[in-house]
Amino acid sequence: MKWESLGDITVLIADDDAFNRQLVVSLLDKIPTIHFLEAEDGVEALEILAQKSVDMILLDLHMPKMDGYDTIHNIRKEAKYDFTPIVIITTDEQEMNKLYAMGADDFISKPFKLSELSSRIYAHIEKKQYRAKYNQLSKEEIDTTLISTEAKEKEQTTQKIDEDLNKHSQNYTIEDIEISQKETFYNMIKLSVSKKSMHNIIRVATLSKALSKLIGYDDKKSDNIYFASMLRNIGAILSIEKNKKTDYQYLIAGYSLINNSIDTEFIKVTKQIMTQYREHFDGSGFPKQRKENEIYISAYIVSIVEAFDDLCSNLDTKKDIRDSLKAGEAKNFHPKITKLFLTHFDYFFELRKKIIKQISEKKEYA
């Protein structure tokens, strides 16, 4: 697909779920000509349309204030949006005929697939530009033109989508899926937090990977722990209602999100860390008061690394930091992992300083 030939494209995503909006953005962020506007409900979507030029609308049906049905009804009342394609996000086939009659151009279901999403957007923008180009023709001429080309366009669009899907399905390995999962979730986190918070996340992830290798995990397992540690608080990070839920509610929200993904080794490790990194060796932790060998090693790794990073930010001397970690041995932390970490304490202390320096020099998220 030759995106450059279509010029700059602005897509409005109207969905009350911030995760869904961010997922679409992260899936398509490698296409430089696509720009995004976001709305949490139909009212906000209409306000954006009144102020901005939009080439295409991705519209969820179930939103507060004004749902997708009322939104599409209000959009189609305005003649200036006649050529603006509206793609409905739904899996409800029974509603499709009704929505077609209301002015929907197409439908797409979750979970989103990059090939399908990009092909649909490309096809509809191409058609929109074609129709706009011939808008100056008389009604009779435009009707004749559309009738003669509609079948061909539909065939070409279908063929284009099928070719993309076949191409991806033929080469789609479990490694490809894991890479895509890591990239998608990383970009979601990056889009949702401040630069300072992202730096903290990267520090803990990098230190966790280093400890994993020291324990004896191979590159693949260590890399999984690196990315999984970033997602341990994803429920709170992506929540619209900041500071309005309990830790347990944020945990459930994050777990539900991750649990909907294909169950790769990366996702399995992520669920281990997410649900257990705040558990304690002595059984005094959160949320299930697991203890000792009931807790995964991956969770123990992130637990002690996060504590170390916090202590480095709040205590003045290496001795104070070391003593605090030592005090948590056989209480918060696994004794063997604590001993290993403290044996290599200077290495981790210097590595943390190196990470901070590298991030500072790059002046970006890294």
Choose the final residue of a domain: 141, 170, 199: 170
186 & 140 share domain: no
The residue among 79, 40, 84, 82 whose CA lies nearest residue 63 is: 40
Residue range of the domain that includes 28: 3-170
* The residue type at 126: E
Quick check: 195 pLDDT over 70? yes
Strand 34-39, strand 56-60: pairing: unpaired
What are 71-128's pLDDT values in tens digits? 999 999 888 888 899 999 887 777 777 888 888 888 888 777 778 888 888 888 887 7
117 & 202 share domain: no
77 & 134 share domain: yes
Structure tokens at 168: 């991806």
37 & 183 share domain: no
115 & 203 share domain: no
CA distance to 6, 27, 214, 253, 307, per residue, from 347 (Å):
52, 37, 11, 36, 16
Q: What is the mean pLDDT of residues 209-227?
A: 92
Cα–Cα distance measured from residue 232 to residue 204, given in angstroms and rounded to the nearest whole number: 11
158 & 104 share domain: yes
Cα–Cα distance measured from residue 24 to residue 31, given in angstroms and rounded to the nearest whole number: 12
CA distance to 143, 146, 148, per residue, from 139 (Å):
6, 10, 14
Contact 55, 144 (CB under 8 A): no
* Cα atoms in the Cβ-side hemisphere of radius 13 Å centred on 34: 21
216 & 117 share domain: no
Tell me the CATH number at 195.
Answer: 1.10.3210.10
Q: Look at the chain and report how many structural domains it folds into.
A: 2
What pLDDT, on the 0 to 100 scale, is given for residue 218? 84
32 & 121 share domain: yes
225 & 357 share domain: yes
Q: Which residue has the higher pLDDT, 45 or 184?
A: 45
What pLDDT, on the 0 to 100 scale, is given for residue 241? 55
* The residue type at 163: E
Q: Which residue has the higher pLDDT, 278 or 27?
A: 278
Contact 42, 70 (CB under 8 A): yes
Q: What is the mean pLDDT of residues 52-61?
A: 92
Tell me the CATH number at 106.
Answer: 3.40.50.2300
Quick check: 153 pLDDT over 50? no
Choose the final residue of a domain: 146, 170, 194: 170
What are 325-350's pLDDT values in tens digits? 999 998 999 999 999 999 999 999 99
* The residue type at 101: A
3-state SS assignment for residue 57 = strand
147 & 236 share domain: no
99 & 182 share domain: no
What pLDDT, on the 0 to 100 scale, is given for residue 159? 57
What are 7-25's pLDDT values in tens digits? 999 999 999 888 788 888 8
What pLDDT, on the 0 to 100 scale, is given for residue 187? 86
User: Please, which pLDDT band fits residue 364 given cuts at 50, 70 and 90?
Assistant: very low
Cα–Cα distance measured from residue 266 to residue 11, given in angstroms and rounded to the nearest whole number: 31
Q: What percent of the chain has pLDDT over 90?
A: 45
What letter would DSSP give residue 61?
Answer: S
145 & 14 share domain: yes
Cα–Cα distance measured from residue 267 to residue 250, given in angstroms and rounded to the nearest whole number: 18
Choose the final residue of a domain: 138, 170, 202: 170
CA distance to 26, 32, 223, 253, 267, per residue, from 187 (Å):
6, 15, 16, 18, 16
Q: Which residue has the higher pLDDT, 165 or 30?
A: 30
Quick check: 365 pLDDT over 70? no
| Mean pLDDT over each residue of the chain, to the nearest integer | 84
Contact 322, 313 (CB under 8 A): no
Q: Which residue has the higher pLDDT, 140 or 28?
A: 28
First to last CA, the chain: 30
Q: Model-level pTM?
A: 0.55
Q: What percent of the chain has pLDDT over 70?
A: 85
Residue 68, C-beta contacts closer than 8 angstroms, at least 6 positions apart:
14, 42, 59, 60, 61, 62, 88, 90
What letter would DSSP give residue 16?
Answer: S
* The residue type at 132: A
What pLDDT, on the 0 to 100 scale, is given for residue 274? 94
DSSP annotation string for 283-348: S--SSS---GGGS-HHHHHHHHHHHHHHHHHH-SSHHHHHHHHHHTBTTTB-HHHHHHHHHTHHHH
The residue among 84, 82, 65, 74 whose CA lies nearest residue 15 is: 65
* The residue type at 32: P
What are 236-256's pLDDT values in tens digits? 887 655 566 788 888 888 888
